[in-house]
């Protein structure tokens, strides 16, 4: 899971044992270390590097037709050979090796009395779409970095390759910025959540985020950071009131859900502040994309702000409603100057920005007609904060919709889009266990439909019988009907 492009079963089997060693060509050592780290907790196998190893990992730029993430894997009774053109391709191949073993190989505790045997196969595999992502909202409910690492591990099992971190919002600011320390000392903490009387907060250190980037990269996952602007800014305004439209006003970090009317002002100091923040973001997150947010920005404060009126006149805008696009275009310019690609939730009048249409799938065509690259995120089929069934034991979620695995699998994918991602907003998700319960098996559905060359819901549901056993071995909490359907049948 996801379904390989081509898998041919061959005669023979290869057994990993205490004498098995890995031979890695230059540049492939990281994949060897990854396989060893992933298998050792359950198997206890040392899998050392050795020039005579019968498990061979090789970077091979002569592979044709497999792109940046594809790989070729051959297993017979004599050897295991994994080749790819890039480190990320090798990382995906490592996950396939894991899935070819008994599901118990994916566990975190030692298992005895098991032959760790791989079936003879020839695999050539590459994804259908390059963007296969998940948004994780750590602003509404903070999640420690250990939770993020496990989330990355589970993504990597499914060959999902983009973790979109929603780092700031009205209810909390999680990204440290040295020039503006109150963002985390003040903006990362709220007094309560929806009247529960329980303080909540937390933030990451730069070292934690830098290490997370490396950890994810080793597993074929890149991180897209999101800093919300010019709306969803209440936490930043609590830290620095002078960034608002009414600088003398004092606001706490917001304790409710929804959309606050408090948005950034449009004076020069605000633009300089946002540039400072984005400069820190591109230092910490080396990937090509920076998300600027840009959705759900009320204009009521701009309509009554003298500073906003002056900005409208100065820029020759038609009115306060045009400040939203003007603001985001200014920040997109800064991101581009720093060598990155801006991302936004809606078109901002700059075709250099990637757009993630979330209100309606039909908005994708509008964005593409305006020259934007598009990543599909329609809420009716990708928002995982909605419950995945109407069952009474379903954990609490965003009211109003049910989004099933079937909905995710059949999300709209117009020709020409980069891919798609699901979103896990966390207003109703306080714990890591709750997070994973909402994520799976729906993220397995996303992974399969975006990777497989010819997605088939019927085929996916059949393969989920074995894959549920893997999720169980990984200690992923599943809906009861999924857990009851767990199959002891080996995965291959």
Q: Which candidate in 218, 272, 280, 296 is catalytic?
A: 296
Asked about 218 being catalytic, the answer comes back as no
Instruction: Give me the phi and psi of 308, to 5 degrees please.
Output: -65, -40
Please, what's the b/e burial string for 117-145 (b: 16 or more CB within 10 A of its CB; e: otherwise)?
ebbbbebbbbbbbebbbbbbbbbbbbbeb
Distance separating alpha carbons of residues 350 and 343, to the nearest angstrom: 10
Establish whether the linkage from the previous residue to 248 is cis, with ω within 30° of 0.
Answer: no
End-to-end alpha-carbon separation of the chain, Å?
11
- Evaluate whether 237 touches 262 at the Cβ level (below 8 Å): yes
Q: Tokens in use for 93? A: 């191949």
SS3 257: coil
- Evaluate whether 139 touches 174 at the Cβ level (below 8 Å): yes
CA nearest neighbour of 347 among 358, 338, 337: 358
CA nearest neighbour of 160 among 131, 118, 181: 131
- Evaluate whether 239 touches 264 at the Cβ level (below 8 Å): no
Distance separating alpha carbons of residues 93 and 90, to the nearest angstrom: 5
Q: Tokens in use for 485? A: 């359907």
Q: Tokens in use for 366? A: 């509008």
Catalytic residues: 296
């Amino acid at each position: 899971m996801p379904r390989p492009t081509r898998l041919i079963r061959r005669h023979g089997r290869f057994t990993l044992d205490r004498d098995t060693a890995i031979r890695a060509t230059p540049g492939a050592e990281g994949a060897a270390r990854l396989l060893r780290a992933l298998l050792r907790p359950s198997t206890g196998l040392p899998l050392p590097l050795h020039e005579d190893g019968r498990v061979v990992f090789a970077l091979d730029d002569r592979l044709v037709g497999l792109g940046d993430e594809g790989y070729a894997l051959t297993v017979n009774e004599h050897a295991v050979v994994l080749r790819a053109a890039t480190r990320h391709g090798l990382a995906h191949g490592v996950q396939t090796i894991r899935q070819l073993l008994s599901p118990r190989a994916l566990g975190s505790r030692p298992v005895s009395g098991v032959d760790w045997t791989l079936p003879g196969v020839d695999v050539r595999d590459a994804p259908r779409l390059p963007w296969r992502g998940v948004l994780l909202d750590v602003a509404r409910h903070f999640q420690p970095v250990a939770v993020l690492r496990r989330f990355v591990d589970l993504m990597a099992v499914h060959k999902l390759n983009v973790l979109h971190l929603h780092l700031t919002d009205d209810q909390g600011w999680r990204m440290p910025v040295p020039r503006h320390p109150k963002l985390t000392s003040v903006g990362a903490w709220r007094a309560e959540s929806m009247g529960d009387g329980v303080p909540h907060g937390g933030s990451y250190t730069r070292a934690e985020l830098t290490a997370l980037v490396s950890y994810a990269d080793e597993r074929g996952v890149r991180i897209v950071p999101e800093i919300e602007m010019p709306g969803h800014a209440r936490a930043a305004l609590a830290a620095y009131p002078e960034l608002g439209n009414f600088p003398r006003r004092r606001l706490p970090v917001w304790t409710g859900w929804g959309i606050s009317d408090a948005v950034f002002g449009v004076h020069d100091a605000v633009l300089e502040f946002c540039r400072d923040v984005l400069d820190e973001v591109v230092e910490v997150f080396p990937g090509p994309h920076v998300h600027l947010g840009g959705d759900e920005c009320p204009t009521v404060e701009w309509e009554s702000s003298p500073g906003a009126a002056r900005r409208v006149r100065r820029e020759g805008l038609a009115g306060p409603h045009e400040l939203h696009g003007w603001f985001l275009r200014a920040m997109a310019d800064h991101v581009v100057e720093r060598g990155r690609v801006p991302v936004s939730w809606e078109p901002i009048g700059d075709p250099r920005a990637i757009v993630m249409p979330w209100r309606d799938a039909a908005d994708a065509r509008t964005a593409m007609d305006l020259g934007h690259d598009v990543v599909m995120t329609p809420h009716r089929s990708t928002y995982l904060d909605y419950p995945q069934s109407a069952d009474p034991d379903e954990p609490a979620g965003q009211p109003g919709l049910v989004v099933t695995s079937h909905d995710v699998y059949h999300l709209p994918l117009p020709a020409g889009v980069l891919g798609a991602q699901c979103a896990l907003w966390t207003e109703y998700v306080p714990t890591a266990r709750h997070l994973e319960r909402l994520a799976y098996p729906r993220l397995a559905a996303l992974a399969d439909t975006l990777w497989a060359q010819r997605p088939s819901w019927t085929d996916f549901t059949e393969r989920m019988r074995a894959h549920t056993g893997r999720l169980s071995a990984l200690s992923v909490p599943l809906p009861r009907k999924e857990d009851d359907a767990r199959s002891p049948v080996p995965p291959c």
